[in-house]
Every structure is written in C-alpha cells, then in structure tokens.
C-alpha cells in the first residue's frame, strides 16, 4: 500500500476514532515535529518514523496501553509495506 494512503486510511482513522479529530491532529503534529517526518509525500522511512512517534506519544500510550500502542505500530508498519 502506498504510504500516504496507509497513513490516511489506517493511522489517522484510528487516531480520530480514539481521540476525536482535534486531538488526533495534535498528536500527528507533535509526532511529525518530533520525528522530522512530513505527513505529505511520505516515503517508507518517514512513514515508519511517524508511526513510531505517534505510538510513543504519551496520550496514545495512556489511551491504548503500551501493548496496544506496540500492536498498532506493528499493524501500521505491515500496512505500509
């Protein structure tokens, strides 16, 4: 799957369903800044960095638990390939 599509269809959708649109946008913006990965025109490295930063965000860990965040990262990384 193309990285941008994987991000929009799976990562952003899951965040929005858990946190709502506004908080999901804040999490993505924070993760993008922390990882240096752009949310537009992603390549494999940028996608993986962004997903890792998102699942490392304390708000995500608090909501999904450490194991839930790790599982989301595994699923997202497999979708991007």
pLDDT, position 31: 97
CA torsion, ordered 53, 56, 58, 59, to nearest 10 deg: 70
Per-residue pLDDT of the chain (81 residues; tens, 9 = 90+): 689 899 999 999 999 999 999 999 999 999 999 999 988 888 999 999 999 999 999 999 999 999 999 999 999 999 866
pTM of the model: 0.93
Angle 56-60-61 from CA coordinates, rounded to 5°: 70
Distance CA 57, CA 52 (A): 9
pLDDT of the residue at 39:
86
Q: What is d(CA 20, CA 78) in angstroms, rounded to the nearest whole number?
A: 24
């Amino acid at each position: 799957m193309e990285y941008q599509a994987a991000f929009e269809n799976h990562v952003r959708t899951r965040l929005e369903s858990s946190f709502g649109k506004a908080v999901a946008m804040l999490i993505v913006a924070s993760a993008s800044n922390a990882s240096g990965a752009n949310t537009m025109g992603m390549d494999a490295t940028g996608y993986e960095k962004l997903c890792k930063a998102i699942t490392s965000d304390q708000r995500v860990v608090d909501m999904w638990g450490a194991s839930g965040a790790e599982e989301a990262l595994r699923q997202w990384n497999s979708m991007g390939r």
